[in-house]
Structure 1
Amino acid sequence: MTVTEIFLIAMAIIFTLPYLIWRLGRTEYFAPLVVVQILAGLLLGPGILGKLYPDYYQFVFSAPVVQSLNGVAWWGVTLFIFIAGVELDLRKAWQHRRESGITAALCLGTPLVLGCGAALVLLGMGGWMGAAARPWQFVAGVGMGCAVTALPILILLMEKMGILRLALGQRILRYASLDDIAIWGVLALILMDWQRMGKQAAFIAAFAALAWGLRVLMRRLPAADRWFVALIWLILCSLGADWAGLHYMVGAFLAGAVMDSEWFEQAQMDLLRHHVLLVLMPVFFLSTGLRTEWDVGGTAVFFAAGLLLAASVAGKLLAAQLAGRVLGWAPGEASIIGWLLQTKGLIEIIFANILLDKRIITGDTFTALLLMAVASTMLTVPMVAPRLASTRELVARAS
């Protein structure tokens, strides 16, 4: 068979298997389609399918096919992160800066501290730190992985539960947006390559100057032209960040973060996010699954995933309770906010991919982070929905 034919077979598997599991298994309540797609990527990776049926795995996922799939995945995740950056609304966060700042700081700092503690445990066990990492990079990277909130998935889940446009939903978006900025900033610091400081300084200087010019240009362009200019800007920023040794995903996030969401119609932005998730991101999930490893052993990987999940969930819930006490939230709000902010989803997977690419973590650590992201996302709706049902009146009047 030709490479094209095998590539199409792989694409058929990628899109068919998760859909059938999701639809026939009726998993929507505890595992939305995006979670099933992530799990399917794990099943189809070398750790499971590759060990059970090595000949079949090598036939379908040969090097030329994987290279083609990676190209699709790179573009899909670049668009997805760009959209996440555009959807940040820092002006609302500034208007409510005391409440947003206190909550975001606690909800980032608490799981970060607990995650760093978990990373130190893994560091002492050996086999989890990447070949190019220094201990502080590994600890900070894994710790920040426990502090991640998946803003795009959070939007989807809150929309599903009917609270996205309510005051409480908008507050949660503000908290998550501020944490997103901090997370990507810390990631850029972790990835700083002192041997490439000149390149990285040049990229930051060029980005700052061009971003100012872009904002002036975008205000003057008609709506139809803004999309084309935005895509060109996205590609250039991603290329520049990767050339500087940061990562193309960092560039994609920065490209979106300097744009105002009001430049684009909200309906079009929602539709673009939906189509990227529908058409491109399943390929990214598969390519992510192809990178999962179990070299340390299945039990050790699951232990690490459980440790990281405990640090992440406990950190977010504790932080939300502390913020609720300081800010005087109504009863029940802190629990809802904490469970929603612990959602990891795609951003965690993207974050872990970057750490793996830069050899900050090993394949086993990547697998543990991936399992933690899946479990975190699957917990969200079952834990939040009953609380919302019992406090619906509270949620409706929250401010």
Structure 2
Amino acid sequence: MSTTELFLIAMTIILGLPYLIWRVFRTDYWAPLVVVQILTGILLGPGVLGKVFPAYYATVFAPPVIAALNGIAWWAVMVFVWIAGIELDLREVWKQRRECGTTAALALGAPLLTGCLAAVGMLAWRAGWMGDAASTWQFVLGIGMACAVTALPILILLMEKMGILREPLGQRVLRYASLDDLAIWAVLAIILLDWQRVGHQIAFLAVFGVAAWLFRRLMARVPEMDRYFLGLVWLAACGYGADWCGLHFMVGAFLAGAVMEREWFDLDRLDGLRHNVLLVVMPVYFLSTGLRTNWQIGGTAVFVAAALLLVASVVGKLAGVGVAGKLLGWKRGDAWTVGWLLQTKALIMIIFVNVLLDRRIITSETFTALLLMAVASTMLTVPIVAPRLKRANPGDFS
């Protein structure tokens, strides 16, 4: 078969199989389609079906097909992160800076600490978790940050599903998550700082600052539809610049969106773009993520590490938000609900650890453990939060 035919077979599997599982088994309550797509990617990868049916894997996912899928995946995730950057509303955060700053700092700091402790425990337990290009501090900080991440785009989807996105609770949670989202990329830039290329990185940031100022002036003067085209050109250029200097194209994608104003776009149209990206091209990214899973250390060890990281992530997040609730005088039960919402991982954490894997900060076994942790944390959110919301009065979370 030609590469085109194999590519289309792969796309049929990528788009069809997760949807079939999602619909037939009605998983939407505990596993949204996004989660099913990620899990299906793991099953289709070399660690599961690739081992059981090596001929299938070698044929359908031949190197030319993988190369084509990777190109789509790179662009899909860049657009997705770019939209997440656009959706940051730091002016609203500034208006309520005491509450937002306190909550975001504790919601990020506590799981960062517990995640770092889990990383130290993994290193003491056995070898094979840290990548060959990493210093110990990079590995520990990277794992800690992976445990502290809140997945803002998936959080939006889950809150929309539960009917609270535009409610006071949903808007509060979005403000907290926005600050943490900003911190994620700042920490990633620190982890990836390359002293041999620091001159390139300083040059990129200097040029980016000037270019962003000029770009903002241009965007304020053009019609909305032109802003989408110009924004995508800006996205590609920023991704290239960040990758050239060693910061990774994902950092560039986030920066490209973060300097843009949400008010420049119709919110319904922007939501539609995000949904379409998730529908049309992000499943390819999920599959490419699954293809990178590895169980060479041993399945048991990877599952134990995933469980450890899940506990560190959830306990840290709930503890941090609980302390914030005490300090800020929240109503009883608020911290529990907000904490479970903010511990949602999924896409942003997966993107984050993909970068760590690309830069050889972590090994593929660690990547697999973190991927399992991200999926589990996301699957827990709706079953735990939805019953609490049903029992609550309309004004309980105002």
Q: TM-score range by the shorter chain?
A: over 0.9
Residues in 1 aligned to 2:111 and 2:11: alpha-carbon distance in whole angstroms: 37
Question: Aligned to 2:395, what secondary structure does the other structure show?
Answer: helix
1:231-266, Cα deviation, whole Å (9 max, x unpaired): 111010000000011100110000000111010110
| Corresponding residue of 1:251 | 252
Partner of 2:292: 291
- Determine if the alignment matches structure 1 residue 33 to structure 2 residue 33: yes
Aligned equivalent of 1:104: 104
Counterpart of 1:238, as a letter, is G
1:129 correspondence with 2:130: yes
d(CA) in 2 for partners of 1:394, 1:114: 33
RMSD of equivalent CA atoms: 0.7
222-231 or 23-32: which moved more?
222-231
Worse-superposed segment, 220-229 or 153-162? 220-229
Taking the TM superposition and a 5 Å limit, the aligned residue runs for 1:68-107 are 68-107=68-107
Q: 1:270 maps to what in 2?
A: 271
SS where residue 394 of structure 1 aligns? coil
How far is the alpha carbon of 1:215 from its aligned partner? 1.1
Q: Does 1:234 align with 2:235?
A: yes
- Determine the structure 2 residue equivalent to 1:337: 338
SS in 2 for 1:300: helix
1:53 aligns with 2:53: yes
The offset of 1:372, in angstroms, is 0.3
Which residue of the partner structure matches residue 21 of structure 2?
A: 21
Distance, in Å, in 2 between the alignment partners of 1:18 and 1:322 is 39
For residues 292 and 228 of structure 2, what CA distance do their matches in structure 1 show?
33
Which residue of the partner structure matches residue 376 of structure 2? 375
Contact 1:86 1:259 in 2 (8 A): yes
Aligned pairs for 1:139-154 within 5 A: 139-154=140-155
Q: Deviations over 1:124-147 (max 9, x none)?
A: 221100000000000000000000
Deviations 1:156-214 (A, max 9, x none): 00011011101111010000000011111000000001000111000010111111111
User: Is the 1:41–1:289 Cα contact (8 Å) retained in structure 2?
Assistant: yes
* 1:109 CA displacement: 0.2
User: Could you tell me which residue of structure 1 aligns to residue 9 of structure 2?
Assistant: 9
Q: Mind listing any 5+ residue stretches in structure 2 that lack a counterpart?
A: none
**CA–CA distance in 1 between the matches of 2:74 and 2:59?**
23
Q: Identify the residue that residue 173 of structure 1 maps to in structure 2.
A: 174
TM norm structure 2: 0.99
- Letter paired with 1:225: D
Residue matched to 2:349 = 348
Question: What per-residue deviation string (whole Å, max 9, x for no partner) do you get for residues 348-372 of structure 1?
Answer: 1100100000000000000000000
Distance between the aligned counterparts of 1:106 and 1:126, measured in 2? 31
Structure 1 equivalent of residue 217 of structure 2: 216
Deviation track 1:19-47 (CA, whole Å, cap 9, x = no partner) reads 00000000000000000000000000000
For these two proteins, the number of residue pairs brought into alignment is: 397
Cα offset for 1:394? 3.4
Q: Secondary structure at the match of 1:133?
A: coil
Q: What is the rounded CA distance, in whole Å, between the counterparts of 1:57 and 1:226 in structure 2?
A: 41
Amino acid of the structure 2 residue aligned with 1:356: L
After TM superposition, the runs of 4+ consecutive aligned structure 1 residues lying more than 3 A away are none
Aligned residue number for residue 202 of structure 1: 203
SS of the residue aligned with 1:343?
coil
Instruction: Check whether the contact 1:332–1:391 (CA below 8 A) recurs between aligned residues.
Output: no
Q: What does residue range 284-323 of structure 1 map to in structure 2 within 5 Å? A: 284-323=285-324
